[in-house]
């Protein structure tokens, strides 16, 4: 659920529980509203912790990655569709123990949870080809 959904649920409860009666009812209503707000905040925080799904198309061609920078938030689920256009290339990130190879004109799709923050280099490890040695990009996890 989106943040807006949580808010609308919260305000529905808020309006529905409009106090009627004496000070005791008002007090109970205040406690109820406060607890509701706390639950909404906890659920929203849990959703935030899970992260969102981020999809990227990455192309390896002429000894370069396009794009050469990928930025995500910590705990996002990162889906990458990697295509090698001119010759076979790989998308390798040592810090995440990832290495995916795509043949000429082929694509490979994979996903991982960005559970470590920092800046990680992605590169092509098919270094038999000189140009591949210079293929580098940056995965930034904030």
What would the x/- binding string for Cu ion be over residues 57 to 76, using CB under 5 A?
--------------------
Of 72, 126, 139, 141, the one binding Cu ion (CB under 5 A) is 126
Q: Under 8 Å CB-to-CB from 127, ≥6 apart: which residues?
A: 133
Instruction: Give the DSSP letter string of 72-128.
Output: E-TT-EEEEEEEE-SS-EEEEEGGGTEEEEE-TTEEEEEEEE--S-EEEEEE---TT
The nearest distance, CB 93 to Cu ion, in angstroms, is 14
The answer to the question of residue 132 lying near Cu ion (CB under 5 A) is yes
List of residues contacting Cu ion (CB under 5 A): 89, 124, 126, 132
């Amino acid at each position: 659920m989106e943040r807006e959904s949580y808010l609308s649920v919260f305000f529905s409860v808020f309006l529905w529980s409009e106090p009627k009666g004496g000070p005791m009812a008002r007090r109970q209503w205040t406690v109820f509203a406060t607890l509701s707000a706390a639950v909404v905040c906890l659920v929203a925080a849990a959703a935030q912790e899970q992260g969102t799904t981020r999809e990227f198309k990455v192309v390896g061609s002429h000894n370069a990655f396009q794009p050469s920078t990928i930025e995500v938030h910590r705990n996002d689920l990162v889906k990458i569709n990697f295509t090698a256009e001119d010759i076979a290339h790989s998308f390798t990130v040592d810090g995440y123990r990832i290495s995916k190879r795509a043949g000429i004109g082929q694509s490979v799709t994979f996903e991982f949870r960005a559970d470590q923050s920092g800046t990680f280099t992605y590169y092509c490890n098919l270094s038999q080809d000189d140009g591949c040695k210079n293929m580098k990009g940056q995965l930034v996890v904030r």
